[in-house]
Amino acid sequence: MRALITKEIQGFLGSLIGHLVIVVFLLLTGLFLWVFPGNILDTGYAELGPLFQVAPWVFLFLVPAVTMRSFSEERRTGTIELLLTKPITDLRLVLGKYLAAVVLVLLALLPTAVYWYSIGSLAVPDWNIDQGSILGSYIGLFFLASTFAAMGIFASALTESQIVAFLIAALLCFILYLGFDLAADFSSIGALEGPVKNLGIQQHYASMSRGVIDLRDVLYFLGVDAIFILATRTVVQSRTW
């Protein structure tokens, strides 16, 4: 499986879209933090809130761009049949592609540590910032991106078209991130508002962003990841039925 992960990462980083995804993520988050109205320099507060507010929306489109070729390209070129004949289980095949996507997302996140260092240096006195909240937000953002990756891998397994896979993944990510919160706002939901919101990602991500790493939030993300990974394995297995 390690060879598969390495192959996926090298294939992505060796393509134009791989570099574009990372550059676009860093460019957009940097603009919101330091350039656009309401940025850190304008407000005078040394905190990374704007990064963690905009990053989920950027990931909502960039993570599907990372995962859209995972299985779609294999199906289009016919190499999926070759992969399925290798001495590797379908689950390990799916996990290999999923973990490669997660590593790529992590590579995009790592350079933002410069933002953390920058606001720590700008604070008066130095490093007078809420470190726990920032760390929790990073952990929450990583879990959110990993869940988007699981949905993206699933969408990629459904079709040979990378564009269709991208659109399906983006829609799934949007529904799970914001859809349940929008549904909970309807007056007909009533007493079910809380449980309905808990089905969506945003509620759990917001909880982690406060610096509170609750086991229930971690289990939620891991559970959603597991559901989509197993669903992807089922789709891959269906080719042999």
Interval 101-123: pLDDT, tens: 998 888 888 888 888 888 888 77
Identify which has the larger pLDDT, 201 or 131: 201
* Whether the predicted pLDDT of 187 surpasses 60: no
Q: What are 3-32's pLDDT values in tens digits?
A: 777 877 787 777 777 788 888 888 888 888
Q: Which pLDDT score is estimated for 158? A: 92
Tell me how many degrees the CA angle 205-211-216 measures, rounded to the nearest 5.
55
Q: What average pLDDT does the segment 50-77 reach?
A: 86
pLDDT, tens only, 40-57: 776 767 677 778 888 899
Q: Which of these, 30, 239, 232, lies nearest to 118 by C-alpha position?
A: 30
pLDDT at 241 over 60: no
Give the pLDDT of residue 89. 84
pLDDT at residue 65 is higher than 60: yes
Ramachandran category for residue 188: left, alpha or beta (phi over 0 → left; psi -120 to 50 → alpha): alpha
- The pLDDT mean for the chain works out to 83
Q: Is the pLDDT of residue 202 over 70?
A: yes
The pLDDT of residue 133 is above 60: yes
User: What would you report as the CA-atom Rg of the chain, rounded to the nearest whole angstrom?
Assistant: 19
Number of domains the chain is built from: 1
pTM, 2 dp: 0.89
Residue of 225 and 195 predicted with greater confidence? 225
Yes or no: say if 201 and 176 are a contact pair by the CB < 8 Å rule: yes
Nearest to 139 by CA among 50, 227, 214: 214
Amino acid at the residue 68 = M
**What is the phi-psi region of residue 129: left when phi exceeds 0, alpha when psi lies from -120 to 50, beta otherwise?**
beta
pLDDT confidence of residue 173: 93
Would you call 94 helix, strand, or coil by DSSP? helix
Other Cβ atoms within 10 Å of 232 Cβ, number = 28
Round to whole Å and give the CA distance between 152 and 170: 8
143-177 pLDDT per residue, tens: 999 999 999 999 999 998 999 999 999 999 999 99
Per-residue confidence (pLDDT) for residue 227, from 0 to 100: 95
Domain range spanning residue 219? 2-240
